[in-house]
Amino acid sequence: MTRALFIIDVQNDFVEGGALGVEGGAAVAAGITRLLEAHRDEYSLVAASRDWHSGEHDNGGHFAVDAEPDFVDTWPSHCVADTPGAEYHPDLDTTGVDVHIRKGQGVPAYSIFEGTDDAGDRMSDVLAARGITDIDVVGIATDHCVRASALDAVEHGQHVRIFTDLIAGVAAESSEAALAELGHAGVVIADSTVLAGAAS
């Protein structure tokens, strides 16, 4: 089995009520938990990423400090290391997660490939060591970190699917554009019911 699941940034600051909360974020957290309950044995690797920013500076310009955030390259403070906002949403059961990736530690970072695990290993090295060839992607936000992670997975030679029922975006227009871009890059746009079909 050579398929992995990427769970992107299902953190308190990215769901409803968080510093950068998106509509539907909590539902995504609960939906991913149901997916893992039903299909964990179909994945040889489950990796989850989190933004893990410094609270002491602007993280390489990622946090808007001297001007209003543009919500493209600069953002309000969010997911500061060791704060409740950076923790996984409580509706996401992480007991089935094999690898936890922290990204953005002092610098802007969107893709799971830009972070490291607790041992300091990058995602690309973990995938190579496990012989992963296929990746399913879920999480937050469709138009930013999900997009970047999926595009990087393609760049690393992976066959990639995104489950549209288990993602949530900042805005409808930019999320639709992201999915169109991903489809053009070769990502399969599906929903998680394909797993039930594959298991039958």
**Cα 138-139-144 angle, rounded to 5 deg:** 110
Q: Which of 79, 103, 143, 152 is catalytic?
A: 103
Choose the catalytic residue: 51, 79, 143, 145. 145
Residue with tokens 């953005």: 104
79 annotated active-site: no
Residue 70: C-alpha distances to residues 63, 66, 80 (Å): 10, 12, 19
Rounded to whole angstroms, the Cα distance separating 175 from 22 reads: 12
9, 51, 143, 152: which one is catalytic? 9
Q: How far, in Å, CA of 136 to CA of 187, rounded?
A: 10
103 tagged catalytic: yes
Rounded CA-CA distance 22/20 in Å is 7
Catalytic annotation present for 145: yes
H or E element at residue 188: strand 188-190
Catalytic residues, which ones? Answer: 9, 103, 145
